[in-house]
Amino acid sequence: MALCGGVGAMALPSELIVHIFSFLSDRDKLRASAVCSRWRECLFYPALWTELKLRIGGGGCSSSDETPKLEFLMRKFGSFVRELQLELAPVEGNLSHQNSDPSSTRMDQPPGPDSDPQHKERWRDAVATYLDQVLCVFTSIRNNRNLQKLSLYGDTFILQQEGLLDSSHLHLIHQGDKKINEIQQLFMEVLSNSRQLRWLSCSFMLGLVTSCSLSCLSNPSAETLQHLSLLDHQLGPLVSPSELARLSNLHSLALDFTDFTSELCGLLASPRRTPLHRLSLLLNGATLEFKSLEGTATEDNWKALVRVSANLRVYVMALEVDSSELLRVLKPSLPLERLHLDSYSMPVTDATLELISQQYNKTLTHFLLLRDGPDFPDLSINRNEDPLVLLTWRCTQLAVLVIHGYTVWSHNLVAISRLRGSSLRVLTVSEESIDFDPDQSVCIEGDPVHNLVKEVSLGLGRVWQPCLDSSVFLSEPTQHFHHELRAFSMGM
């Protein structure tokens, strides 16, 4: 960057250097900061760091190894950053690789802190790391009045016992009770000091949100808040009717299904509020033992809500939920756009698929049917009336179809591709889910897999292949829900 007269880049004014650096990625900015003290000073100018996206942990490394990086970034930018997206994965590298049961990596069967001594120590280290990292974040942003977007996800469910992780286990952590209380207090301070918060999302952040947290949100932020997501497997309702009433300009909302009560639905149906555009609901079968569906939104509640919010669309993930419970919550007037059914021991029935295809034939665009079990149930009781083919035929807006863990007959897969054609933007089916009818294979020459790929590709109008990587389907469901609801809420 040599200039005339042999004067180098050091002669440029700071404002120009900052403008040039604004075109760099975050990674390149940090690399450039090591060149000299002048560049470091310019690179940490607040205007260059209005948005910060971090994932701490994961990739097989211990989350504690990345704590210094988190502390440095939060110390530098926490007081003025406008958008903070943070994902904490304290268990990866501490607990997750120790599990031999493949189901326990996804489903709600986490080992607790009362198991073998080695696991107990790893559990203690993972929770201690998580608490220290959350304290670091909230200590840094507690007085940030410019914060507009706060999105937090804690991959911490494996740290919890089945059921409630109560305070009796926190004595295993040095100052565990004290740190939890401090975290909750700092979170309430952040909400109280905020002045222009537009997006607030806290998903599975162990020990962070309480039923009183939202009451601390400042009045200015209550007016500006457009998205609210509060999800926690372990606690009761996190949003009270009185607090929801303050948030009159919400465009999108994400809650546990059991927390979406008839009273909350009635409040959202008020004509004095901004119409709701997106609603994401998580129904976890493991929590139904201590969080009842009694009192959730009724058919009349949904009708009233849709009358006021005519453009409302709903995204539902049902995780390990019995079909009888699904039939109970899927009301006819629910404007369902996206549905994700995920299970290990509770397969979906053909009757459930029949109901879905009939009730949501005009609204359903995304359907994910996943099962991580040892066998592959066949939903085609009648080979001539496969429920997945009927769903594809009836749901005329269907654009995304993902299937794993259920038997999909090859001729039905061809029928699905032909029914929706190029409008089916995503058709992802695991290779191990596909089966071939021996009666039909006799009449077809050549390799059946090659013929299937050819026919489905012709039906879709593009090259298609079955999915060979099962990890595409078997990601952590709560993390998938967190990412999907974010895109869904933004209208993506």
As a whole number, mean pLDDT of residues 469-481 equals: 80
Provide the pLDDT for residue 247.
Answer: 95
Q: How far apart are CA 294 and CA 257, in angstroms?
A: 11
Q: How far apart are CA 458 and CA 468, in angstroms?
A: 20
Extents of the domains making up the chain: 14-48, 49-92+120-250, 384-473
Q: Residues of the chain with pLDDT > 90: what percent?
A: 50
Q: How confident is the model at residue 5 (pLDDT cuts 50, 70, 90)?
A: very low
Q: 169-225 pLDDT, tens per residue?
A: 555 667 777 888 999 999 999 999 999 999 999 988 877 888 889 999 999 999 999
Task: Compute the Cα dihedral for 62, 55, 480, 258 and give only its sign.
Answer: positive
317: number of Cβ within 10 Å: 23
Provide the pLDDT for residue 136.
Answer: 92
Q: 139-175 pLDDT, tens per residue?
A: 999 999 999 999 999 875 544 443 344 444 555 667 7
As a whole number, mean pLDDT of residues 314-342 equals: 94
Across-strand partners of 368?
Answer: 340, 402
Provide the pLDDT for residue 170.
Answer: 58
Q: How confident is the model at residue 444 (pLDDT cuts 50, 70, 90)?
A: low
CA distances from 146 to 80, 81, 193, 250 (A): 6, 7, 9, 19
86: number of Cβ within 10 Å: 21
Contacts of 328 (CB under 8 A, 6+ apart): 293
Number of residues assigned to the chain: 492
The lowest-confidence range among 73-82, 92-101, 326-335 is 92-101
* 3-state SS class at 345: coil
Provide the pLDDT for residue 69.
Answer: 82
Q: What angle do CA 252, 255, 261 make, to 5 degrees?
A: 105
Question: What token pair was written down for 249?
Answer: 């300009």
Q: How confident is the model at residue 123 (pLDDT cuts 50, 70, 90)?
A: confident
Amino acid type, 330: L
